[in-house]
Structure 1
Amino acid sequence: MRQQMAKQWRINLGTGLLPDEWYPDPDLRMAIRSLLRDQRLSISNYGDSQGYAPLRVRIAEMLMGLKVGTTADQICLTIGASHGLELVMRALVRPGDYVLVDEPGYYNLYSALTGYGVHAIGVPRMDTGPCLETLRKLLNDYKPKAFFTQSIFHNPTGGCTDPATAHEILSLAKNHDIYVVEDDVYGDFDDLYRTRIASLDQLNRVVLIGSFSKSVSASIRIGYVAANIDITNKINTIKLNGVIGCPSFSEMAVYAFLTSGNYRKHITRMRERLFIVREVARNKLSELGFTDISSPGGGFFVCARHPKIDSASHFSEKAAAANILLAPGDVFLLNGKTADWFRFNVGHLMKPNGTECLQAFIREYLKC
């Protein structure tokens, strides 16, 4: 991850962000300029530790549109979704505890759990969401404290948890008295208002995490946690002990953009563009010889394997030396497992020379 963020890559097919030109830079700058013109605005104070209140109110309204009933008091703003995941982890579990996670899944979550001394056990992803048969067995075997999952446009597969599976996950969580932590970082790109587990539970034992890093700006980096009031208060205390102040200006900038009228237009454009480029990206990968190409209903990614590449990690290491960043399947698996597949960012695959450079490198690699 440090490698990915620190370098300017010739071709960056492994990133978790869309290309810069997809983001609302002019509209966001306009919103920021309007803030700076307000002489009443203070940009030198800490701000509310729970986060800018008007933005929390706005997020609560947005969640109501997803049938997740909540109030601003139940929302704590964070420095992106990864920060939210870490805060929730510290609020719900202790070193030595067991938790369940999607596998494949988000590598940053894996690292955070391991670093905190928590044992992460993987639940395989199916087309319909987490494998319920495995989930039932692991709940009995390990007595975990929580299940971390993505219902909408799961990273890396791009799949969504169907309503029947979501209902069963919540039922199992109730029966085994565990929390469900639902990472909805790609939720802004869902135009069908698919079922969130949080909408079935209304934040009693489900904690919902969201972010504007993927949809508005990774640099401004504002996320949120929505939970019952007891968990929210606990998270806020942990957050305050860790960061003291909050990026209140960034929070105000996101609020200004959300309420400017440009946000909805921007999200609609991104959804429409993703719908088009996903299929084009799948065709391009097929032309390059990739097989088993996933067909997700949305999101940034498709997964695929190449029949002549046995080790995705070895291929990716060689590609990095040629200034091409890839995301091998290994990084999305627990306990050093190996994989023969890759996760591709469809937006970057469509950039000029994206597939051409990858094709040339594959040819060179197969000659060795």
Structure 2
Amino acid sequence: MATIRGRIARRALSPGERLPSIRKLARDLAVSPSTVVEAYDRLAAEGLIRSRPGAGFYAVGVPAPLALAEDGPALDRAIDPFWVSRQSLDAAAGARRPGCGWLPPDWMPEAALRRAVRALSKADAAVLTDYGATQGSPALRRLLARQCAADGIEAGPEQIVLTPSGTQAIDLVCRFLLNPGDTVLVDDPCYFNFQALLRAHRAKVVGVPFTATGPDPDRFAEALAVHRPRLYVTNSALHNPTGATLSPRTAHQVLTAAAAHDLTIVEDEIFADFEPEPSPRLAALDGLARVVRIGSFSKTLSASIRCGYIVPRPDWVEGLRDLQVATNFGGPSPMAAELVLRTLSDGSYRKHLAALHGRLAQRRCEAAIDLAGLGIIPWIEPRGGFYLWCRLPGGRDAAEVARAALAEGVVLAPGNVFSPSQSAPDFMRFNVAQIDHEALRVIARALG
């Protein structure tokens, strides 16, 4: 494939020119004819060549010259809620990403995933070929209902809607409940993609200062009275980016204020499995009356197998299913749902989580020591998870540090991308599983 691409790029093959025969190219490159057949088929799928039955393969056209600046993320774009996502997702292979929001591949249950993929090859044909049902796999919904019960939440399988991802679960709820111009409360700081998604819905975003035990109760009540928001979007378990845990007292105050002002709360549970012991859940305390539970499996299982879920109040299920048809023509891929189900049902998954808790506890401690050596101090010591929310030394501008590190191929997450009020200029979120010694050296140079 590289040989043919090179010939097209050098214009040694012109548009419409016939490629060497399979047998000739196999002889020239000293490979088997089947290898050439597969290479030609893949190049045809990419649109670089095309087949004429009985006449061979022909070049389609000359691609535009490759520009490295266009092949990766734009390095000069504004540092905003899209910035870290773009840099992390589009980074070149091998780039260091202490600012990203997922674990490295070797931290994930690869063996269980491979078993599930092998088993999937024997699944019913419908799983491999059909659209997803509007509410998603009944078997996976039954499993999630059991997990809800373990968390003290009464919700049967019929009250759970599977979605193509956790982000799309939030998107679906926003489509269901918001109109352009509605106000939505978020924590300050909060997960930056909450802001990006709400911006796409043309909502007015208002931040509430976040403390070590949850949103500041007085400022939360004040924001409800002044702004009359429609939604509040938050992480209760291991808050992103701070790693803080909601306290029972703050949970009670939040729910009391929400009831008084008819506020709906969207509780994102994506980090719940990283907790050593469960913390208070708004959905459990509220009984799903005004709290919507959402989540996905991308942090502990696989970010490649996209599947999320919504647990709303019962009378919202039909409306969410209709919206799912309108926006996605069905629920998540049946293949993705089957892979998640098989892996979660595998007895090794609980062992994976237990090992992950221990490994992350050690890594958080090591990373905190390494960062402290650079004068970077964590805001709190989280109970679990893989984030440390840290203040930089000397009031350094985290955006400037991130730009300097990016120039050396290291992606960082500066504090103000998380802050609606732009009140965290000297903070940075670090993913402890993605920090190595070379990344630390680059960070040290960027600070200097």
The TM tier, using the shorter chain, reads: over 0.9
AA aligned opposite 2:280 = T
Equivalent in the alignment of 2:356: 270
SS in 2 for 1:43: helix
Equivalent in the alignment of 1:88: 173
Moved more, 329-338 or 271-280: 329-338
AA aligned opposite 1:312 = A
Distance 1:116 1:360 in 2: 37
Q: Paired residue for 1:198, among 256, 264, 283?
A: 283
Correspondence list, 1:142-161, <5 A: 142-161=227-246
Distance 1:223 1:289 in 2: 38
Distance 1:28 1:7 in 2: 25
Q: 1:364 to 1:219 in 2, by over 3 A?
A: closer
Shift of 1:292: 4.6
Equivalent in the alignment of 1:64: 149
- The aligned length equals 362
AA aligned opposite 1:33 = R
Distance 2:120 2:271 in 1: 27
Q: 1:169 to 1:309 in 2, by over 3 A?
A: closer
The answer to whether the 8 A contact 1:70-1:202 is kept is: no
- CA offset digits 1:252-289 (Å, max 9, x no partner): 11111111212111111111211111111111111122
SS in 1 for 2:393: coil
Equivalent in the alignment of 1:321: 407
- CA offset digits 1:43-73 (Å, max 9, x no partner): 1111311111100110010111111110111
The answer to whether the 8 A contact 1:288-1:359 is kept is: no
Correspondence list, 1:106-185, <5 A: 106-185=191-270
The answer to whether the 8 A contact 2:187-2:215 is kept is: yes
- CA offset digits 1:225-257 (Å, max 9, x no partner): 101122222222212111113311110111111
Shift of 1:312: 0.3
- CA offset digits 1:79-108 (Å, max 9, x no partner): 221111111111112111111111100111
Moved more, 193-202 or 308-317: 308-317
Distance 1:365 1:23 in 2: 32
Shift of 1:336: 5.1
AA aligned opposite 2:433 = G
Give me the identity figure in percent: 35
Q: What 5-or-longer segments of structure 2 have no aligned partner?
A: 1-84
Equivalent in the alignment of 1:48: 133
Q: Paired residue for 1:26, among 96, 111, 123?
A: 111
Distance 1:236 1:171 in 2: 30
SS in 1 for 2:158: helix
Shift of 1:149: 1.3
Equivalent in the alignment of 1:348: 434
AA aligned opposite 1:7 = A
Distance 2:125 2:401 in 1: 55
AA aligned opposite 1:280 = E
Distance 2:260 2:162 in 1: 30
Larger radius of gyration: 2
Q: Are residue 210 (structure 1) and residue 295 (structure 2) matched?
A: yes
Equivalent in the alignment of 1:280: 366
Which structure carries more relative contact order (alpha carbon 8 Å, separation 6+)? Answer: 1
Equivalent in the alignment of 1:307: 393
Q: Normalized against structure 1, the TM-score is what?
A: 0.94
Equivalent in the alignment of 1:228: 313
* Runs of 4+ in structure 1 over 6 Å off: none
- After superposition, the CA RMSD in angstroms is 1.6
Moved more, 325-334 or 335-344: 335-344
- CA offset digits 1:304-330 (Å, max 9, x no partner): 122246210111011111100100001
Q: 1:290 to 1:335 in 2, by over 3 A?
A: closer
AA aligned opposite 2:143 = R
Shift of 1:363: 3.2
Q: What 5-or-longer segments of structure 1 have no aligned partner?
A: none
Equivalent in the alignment of 2:343: 257
Shift of 1:361: 4.6
Shift of 1:223: 1.2
AA aligned opposite 1:151 = S
The answer to whether the 8 A contact 1:282-1:293 is kept is: no
Distance 1:333 1:276 in 2: 29
